[in-house]
Amino acid sequence: MNLSRRGLYVISMVIVLTIIGTWTTAAWVTMLAQYGAVLLVLLGFYEWLDSRRELEKLELTLPQNLTLGNGASCQVRLDNGRHRVAQFELAVQVPTSVRLSPAEFLMRVPARAVGCQVLSVVGINLGEVAISQARVRVEGRFGLAHWSKTLFLDSVSKVIPDVLRGTLALPGQTRGGEVGQLKQGAGGEFLSLRPYAIGDPIRAIDWKATARAGEPIVRQFSQDQHLEIMVVIDAGRSANVRVGPLTRLGQFTNVACRLAEMAVGADDRVGLMVFADQVIYNQPPARGLESLQRFRTALAELRVGAVESNPMVAIAPLLAQLRQRTLVVLLTELADADHSGLIKSVALLRPRHLPLIASVRDAGVDDLVDQPGDSWLGPYLSVAASDSLEREAQTLADLDQLGCFAVNATPETLDQAVLGRYQFLRQRRLV
């Protein structure tokens, strides 16, 4: 219960009358103060009884599925069963897996009517979402106080990995497994003409088209190419660190699902392995929509382990099941204090397989490096941020010496960086 402004005014008047009646001999003032106090108590008691009545019904409509990191709309419906206009202050109690905006809001609902409010909800952790109650404050019948109560809900949803957006579709892809390649002789299908680029073979030049255009033109052919891709995700303790709106695991999950969707669309074989201090999940590379569905289902149920990760535990099963040259996409942290395990693991994959190491970079670390020492904690944060950036740079340098491809991008550009690298490797036939 919280007193309203009107309630405070009434109480103040009763107190003032009581003081005046004490200092003077006017009995009517004292009597007025007493009657006022009794009336105030009775009206407050009536408001309390009225607030206990179940005259409100609250409903929250959530989408059946929420995609990780993306906003969606939901609707709150409040049925006011009172015979008067009522103002409600609501605070829906949501689990940590979602974020509701605004978290607290006002609704003024006419008598015997239903009020609606549209909210924004964002899934920030994978898994089931159940919202079961909301705290409500309603103004009393006489406006003396706001009375709090709990209304129960039955709203469920599920946070699932994001899907591939149209702007990230593989450019130039016309049929599953086909990528434009410069090939001569039988087995290739003519795709298009394009200007000559340094490195193109002379035999690919179309001399008639060159004569018409006045510049060297080459023929581009398509040839079936089916790659084998293994996505390996680090789900150790560091994956629970929030980078941007999502945790590292959330960022990795979205990227992995989009990469798998793109690979299946190109008729490539894609598999999944998740590890921490041991292998948590292992799905061998396979082709088709059924494989993609298993991939997404496994990631939707993925949780962060409370242990330090060790990439070496994933190497033995990887080498045992990968029978042909494979693009191994490892999603992990690069700023680990001891990155020797990562370097040794990647070295074991080379040269038979092609590792692509990807990590999400926290742009806020750069700001901490140049942060002025406004407090005693400032210099410490600056040194810690510098040390983190140095470890990242050293890890990237070591990976480059091994001949690996590495991506260290911000949350906003991680998708484009990883999918763009996959596209580049596929078109160049480096896998």
Task: Name the token pair of 330.
Answer: 């490892």
User: Residue 38 domain-assigned?
Assistant: yes
User: Residue 202 domain-assigned?
Assistant: yes
- The pLDDT value given to residue 4: 79
User: Which of 208, 224, 240 delimits the end of a domain?
Assistant: 224
- The pLDDT value given to residue 429: 76
- The pLDDT value given to residue 371: 66
User: Residue 171 domain-assigned?
Assistant: no
Indicate if 103 and 250 belong to the same structural domain. Answer: no
User: Residue 183 domain-assigned?
Assistant: yes
- The pLDDT value given to residue 190: 63
Q: What is the pTM of this model?
A: 0.73
**Phi-psi region for residue 39, left (φ > 0), alpha (ψ -120 to 50) or beta?**
alpha
User: Residue 172 domain-assigned?
Assistant: no
Q: How far apart are alpha carbons 131 and 158 in whole angstroms?
A: 11
User: Residue 165 domain-assigned?
Assistant: no
User: Residue 166 domain-assigned?
Assistant: no
- The pLDDT value given to residue 173: 41
In which domain, by residue range, is 199 found? 178-224
Indicate if 368 and 355 belong to the same structural domain. Answer: yes
Q: Kindly give the confidence (pLDDT) of every residue in the chain, 431 residues in length, as a single tens digit, with 9 standing for 90 and above.
A: 778 788 888 888 888 888 888 888 778 888 888 888 898 889 888 888 887 777 788 999 999 999 998 889 999 999 988 888 888 899 999 888 899 999 889 999 898 899 999 999 999 888 888 998 899 888 888 888 888 888 888 899 999 888 876 544 443 443 334 343 434 333 355 667 889 887 677 878 889 999 999 999 988 765 556 789 999 999 988 888 888 888 899 999 999 999 999 999 888 999 999 999 899 999 999 988 899 999 999 988 888 877 888 889 999 899 999 988 999 999 998 877 577 888 998 999 988 899 999 999 887 777 777 766 667 677 777 777 788 888 888 888 888 888 889 999 999 899 999 999 999 888 877 77
Indicate if 12 and 102 belong to the same structural domain. Answer: no
User: Which of 10, 34, 52 delimits the end of a domain?
Assistant: 52
**Which residues are CB-neighbours of 207 under 8 A, at least 6 positions away?**
none
Indicate if 229 and 212 belong to the same structural domain. Answer: no
CATH number of 386's domain: 3.40.50.410
Give me the number of domains the chain comprises. Answer: 4
Indicate if 46 and 62 belong to the same structural domain. Answer: no
Q: How far apart are alpha carbons 370 and 310 in whole angstroms?
A: 32
- The pLDDT value given to residue 222: 58
User: Residue 169 domain-assigned?
Assistant: no
Indicate if 40 and 74 belong to the same structural domain. Answer: no
CATH number of 94's domain: 2.60.40.10
**Which residues are CB-neighbours of 427 under 8 A, at least 6 positions away?**
172, 179, 180, 181
- The pLDDT value given to residue 225: 65
Indicate if 15 and 77 belong to the same structural domain. Answer: no
Indicate if 244 and 299 belong to the same structural domain. Answer: yes
Indicate if 232 and 323 belong to the same structural domain. Answer: yes
Indicate if 237 and 277 belong to the same structural domain. Answer: yes
- The pLDDT value given to residue 176: 39
Indicate if 389 and 289 belong to the same structural domain. Answer: yes
Residue type, 18: T
Indicate if 248 and 342 belong to the same structural domain. Answer: yes
